[in-house]
Amino acid sequence: MIDTEKIEKAVRMILEAIGEDPDREGLRETPARVARMYKEIFCGLWEDPELHLEKIFTEEHEEMILVKDIPIYSMCEHHLLPFFGKAHVAYIPRRGKVTGLSKLARVVEGFAKRPQLQERLTTQIADSIMRRLNPQGVLVVIEAEHMCMTLRGIRKPGSKTITSAVRGSFQRSEATRAEALALIKD
């Protein structure tokens, strides 16, 4: 499990290192607060998000299913600063094997709540759906703003990074891919 005591100690050290007084009133509870926060935003490290996809129904629908505009908040693993935006997940079931719509968002959430790279997050979502549902195809698009590019460093607020992972029929058929991308853009 996440070691909150260790986080508390580390945050106290960071406060000391920047020249703050960790014992002043406003900061006294900060290490414990940050520890609780990290426990929450890194909880995905302690679950296997793929398991949400065990909930499978049979429904004779061999057309595209798209859940779009799923809000995501993740943490860039290089700077431990948030990146946030939207995820769009489309798949085409095989032999009527579909999962609950919320489960797609749960998979996104489970992989997002870890120190991440946007590319890896995108790939992990697509590959877990391919493994569990064995669909005809999967397409995942993530658009996000990285705070490590906005509040520090190169400082380009408003810039967005878009990543995609395309599998199966979405990769083979340009028309299928175009249909999904048009629905995402709408």
Of 2 and 148, which CB lies nearer to Zn ion in the complex structure? 148
| CA pair distance 102, 140, nearest whole angstrom | 15
The answer to whether residue 76 forms part of the interface with Zn ion (CB under 5 A) is yes
- Name residue 138's amino acid: V
Q: Is 132 left (phi over 0), alpha (psi -120 to 50) or beta?
A: alpha
The answer to whether residue 78 forms part of the interface with ligand GTP (CB under 6 A) is yes
In order, the DSSP letters of 35-82 are: HHHHHHHTGGGGS-GGGGGG-EEE----S-EEEEEEEEEEEETTT--E
Choose one: 19-27, 62-70, 130-138, 146-154; the region binding ligand GTP (CB under 6 A).
146-154
Query: Residue 103 belongs to what H/E stretch?
Result: helix 101-112
The answer to whether residue 124 forms part of the interface with ligand GTP (CB under 6 A) is no
The answer to whether residue 148 forms part of the interface with Zn ion (CB under 5 A) is yes
The answer to whether residue 108 forms part of the interface with ligand GTP (CB under 6 A) is no
Which residue in the set 3, 119, 159, 178 belongs to the binding site for ligand GTP (CB under 6 A)? 119
In order, the DSSP letters of 138-182 are: EEEEEEEEEHHHHTSTT--TT--EEEEEEEEHHHH-HHHHHHHHH
Choose one: 16-24, 115-123, 143-151, 173-181; the region binding Zn ion (CB under 5 A).
143-151
Which residue in the set 28, 153, 172, 178 belongs to the binding site for ligand GTP (CB under 6 A)? 153
The answer to whether residue 79 forms part of the interface with Zn ion (CB under 5 A) is yes
Which residue in the set 12, 146, 167, 177 belongs to the binding site for ligand GTP (CB under 6 A)? 146
Residues binding Zn ion (CB under 5 A): 76, 78-79, 148
Where in the sequence numbering do the catalytic residues fall?
Answer: 76-79, 118, 146, 148
